[in-house]
Amino acid sequence: MLVGFTIVNSVCRAQSEFYAEFFPFFTTGYYFFSILLIIFFGFGTIYNIRSQRRKVRAITVVENRQIRGDTQLFLLLFVHVMCYISLALPYHISLVIGATYSTLLVNPTFQFIQNLTIILLYLSQAINFYVFTLTANLYRKELFNLLRKVKAKYWDKQLVIHFGQNTVY
């Protein structure tokens, strides 16, 4: 697909042809499709975990832990989707508004708002680590275990300096 771009007021934009009107609607459709994929594969993962558990029954103590893990997985999926929707949706709304009302594209206030929504879009891609570590107990435990191992390996060592035959501790 050949796309022509032009520079207007030091901003690179698609030329006002079919692509300029098509791009915002395409990215918005892609955005909603990605949300559906996240939900679909999230529930698919949960279903797969539950079906594997049915094949091998464990004792009730382990089942209670597994129910708690399922609850954490549902919470993780819900928070992940909500963060993605709330951070990325404003960008796509501003794209559609800009494509619908092309006179707004030169308005400095609208450009400022659109730049803020771009920052939110970037944040939606960078927030996954924090969502996982703050919502799921398993991720927090593993993170703390990793930090303990790194601390034990690098910071808990004594300083050893060799001067010829003498060793200084």
For 13-70, the pLDDT digits (tens) are: 666 666 667 777 777 888 888 888 888 888 888 788 777 766 665 555 556 666 666 7
> Would the pLDDT of 105 be above 80?
no
- Structural contact between residues 73 and 46, judged by C-beta atoms closer than 8 angstroms: yes
Tokens 């593993």 correspond to: 142
Mean pLDDT along residues 101-117 = 86
Tokens 């996954």 correspond to: 128
pLDDT at 120: 92
Which residues, 6+ apart, have CB-to-CB distance to 72 below 8 Å? Answer: 135, 136, 137, 138
> Would the pLDDT of 80 be above 80?
yes
Dihedral angle computed from the Cα positions of residues 149, 153, 155 and 161, in that order, rounded to the nearest 10 degrees? 170
pLDDT at 20: 66
Integer Cα distance of 27 and 121 in angstroms: 12
Mean pLDDT along residues 105-124 = 89
pLDDT at 73: 79
Dihedral angle computed from the Cα positions of residues 108, 112, 114 and 118, in that order, rounded to the nearest 10 degrees? 150
| Token duo for residue 122 | 């970037």
> Would the pLDDT of 5 be above 80?
no
pLDDT at 71: 77
Integer Cα distance of 140 and 133 in angstroms: 5
